[in-house]
A and B are shown apart, each in its own frame.
Chain A
Amino acid sequence: MQNTPIVAFDQVNKSFGNFVAVENVSFEIGRGEFLAIMGSSGCGKTTTLRMLAGLEAPSQGRILLDGEEVGDKPTWSRDTPMVWQSLALFPFLTVQENVEFGLKMRKVPRKERIERARKWLDRLGILEFADRNIAQLSGGQRQRVALARSLVTEPKILLLDEPLSALDAHLKVRMQSVLSNLQKDLGITFVYVTHSMSEAFSMADRVIIMSRGKVEQIGTPEEIFHHPTNRFVAEFLGSSNIFTGVISSVNGDTLSVRTKEGVFEIRNQKKLEKQAGDSISFTVRSEQLKLDLEDSKPLLNSIVATVVGEEFSGAMANIFLETADGLELQVQKPHEEIRKLGVRHNRNVVAYFDPDQCHILSEG
């Protein structure tokens, strides 16, 4: 059992009437893994989590929980505690009673119930509030109560539905480390749904990116960030320099790509199966896009564009460019370099890149 994944989704579909919320989703979650499911609202991430919790039944496909097919099994017969975005703490119960609730439902004797609840309140640093009313707690304290309530039954898996979205930025970061440490200490599986890239990428071992009900990419934060497989993921992660075109010739690892902005030479580093005539998309990261003045000598892979904006980002400046065709580019450079070049608003510049410094999106 130890080697089987704790969760397996196999071709799972979910529709509400004519609306398809989740389409053909398959993935596995390993034991002790911190998995984040990420996407914008309406992408199906919450529905996926709710099916795992047993709050929705899949329309098609199989969901295996700890090796057992759970499909229609209601949530009260599963062991998949969830932390809600609204936290869903019972306002008519005290902090202690909230945490005891799950134990009470399992008919744990009173004495043991109190002990275990107090142990978890202590572990999360909120024991002093045990007799308080929920309304008297701060956002961060409520968060901890919700965690204690879900973890007190010592489940193998914890589901979290955007639990930090209501907190301010500072508290969010603190709770992220609380969650990370908790997950490492307990060694149980966390499934974390969020629309925030910083939350997903800072905590998760692996991330699933979803859009319009489908899985776009699964991988470690590193893999996804550096090697997005398609245009959606690249755009979703904020890559701004995405080029799309058709391969005009292949010369070993070097591909010539004809795009609206001109012909570019790029290196096929991952040795993907590509032939002349294939359509292809690739990105160039904003810090790897170089900049020069328009009247300089002709360069390989260059694009003429107009400076339309500038933004400070710590030690770096983000320069926003736009080509005559309306393609938007973003270049990140130290302030020093920008000043030396004499980049100004409305000025025409040349952006160029090295064939080795582009990333091909494998799914076109």
Chain B
Amino acid sequence: MRHHASLFGLTLALPLLIWQLLFFVAPLAFLVALSFWTVRNFQMQPDFDVSNWVRIYTREVFWQAYLRSLILATAATVLTSAIAFPAAYAISFKLSESAKRWIVFILVIPFFTSYLVRVYSLQVFLSDAGILNAALGYFGLGPVLMLNNTFGVLVGLVTLCLPLVILLQTFSLNFVNRDLVEAAHNLRCGPLATVFRVIVPSAKVGLIIAALFSFILSFGDFVSPLYLGGGNPPTLSIMITDITKSGQQWPRAAVVAITMIVSLLIVAFASIRFAYKERGR
């Protein structure tokens, strides 16, 4: 019987296992191997040469791009979480069940349209002669530079992450035990203090996972930094495309890509560990 039960469990897990092996682990292993190959006359050759790693890691521009990617992703995550939370709180705690369903539906709509199309429309919106500056000009202000700078990138990244983060936060807030909220009120904790003392700690795991998604999406994003940030200074994603375009340097691009993946793994691991950390003995 036990044998059958475990066989059944294995069968259920099999599709995921095959998929992950085929499309995640295998390419990743290939990427690692690739990072040691060499390029001669624009031709890649299997090799075991650490020069790609040395070459990338000793270039200052790589570390600048790394830092910029980290800062952009962190800023986008903080901004998105801060903007999303009041909305998620209102949806979860203040709306009726039917209104909640409508809002969830509306939040899914942005995923219907391509992110690239949305970023192009943001370009029109944010440019010097764009709609926003025209509106500011009407009040005798501006034009304010909103494109090809950090502001533009952040607008793109936050727009990208916001619907997903609001959804994840809302779901986690829906699971907050309402008795805890009342108990806090009953112990003289006012409504605002209860948000920070009870609701946020109760929904901690979900809020951190939502922020993690935002970080992962922003850190690897290539569209916003390129089309709204002008691609200069580069982020790691932009750097990868630059490297591959110049002289077929796929092995060096692989070094950057592996660095990104490892960084995300560390961030993900640390945040999940933090999320599930328990108090007391």
Contacts and interface: CB of A to CB of B under 8 A. Distances in A.
**A, B assembled together:** yes
B281 A149 contact: no
B186 A82 contact: yes
B187 A86 contact: no
B140 interface: no
Interface string A80-104: 1110101011111111010001100
A53 interface: yes
Contacts of B179: 84, 86, 88
Contact of B177 (A86, A132, A135): A86
Category for how many chain B residues contact A: 20 to 34
B59 interface: no
Interface size of A as a range: 20 to 34
A54 B183 CA distance: 11
B55 interface: no
A165 to B, nearest CB: 14
A256 interface: no
Interface of B: 177, 179-180, 182-191, 193, 198, 201-202, 204, 278-281
Contact of A95 (B184, B191, B193, B280): B280
Interface of A: 53-55, 74-77, 80-82, 84, 86, 88-95, 97, 101-102, 105-106, 131-136, 149, 153
Given A131-B280, A133-B278, A92 B201 contact: yes
Given A88-B177, A92-B201, A132 B188 contact: no
B183 A84 contact: yes
A90 B279 CA distance: 11
Contacts of B193: 105
A102 B187 contact: yes
B213 to A, nearest CB: 22
A101 B189 contact: yes
A74 B182 CA distance: 11
Given A84-B179, A92-B204, A76 B188 contact: yes
A133 B190 contact: no
Contacts of A97: 279
A53 B179 CA distance: 13
Contact of A132 (B183, B198, B280): B280
B187 A105 contact: yes
Given A75-B182, A102-B188, 11 more contacts: A53-B186, A74-B185, A76-B185, A76-B191, A84-B179, A90-B198, A92-B201, A94-B279, A95-B280, A133-B280, A136-B280
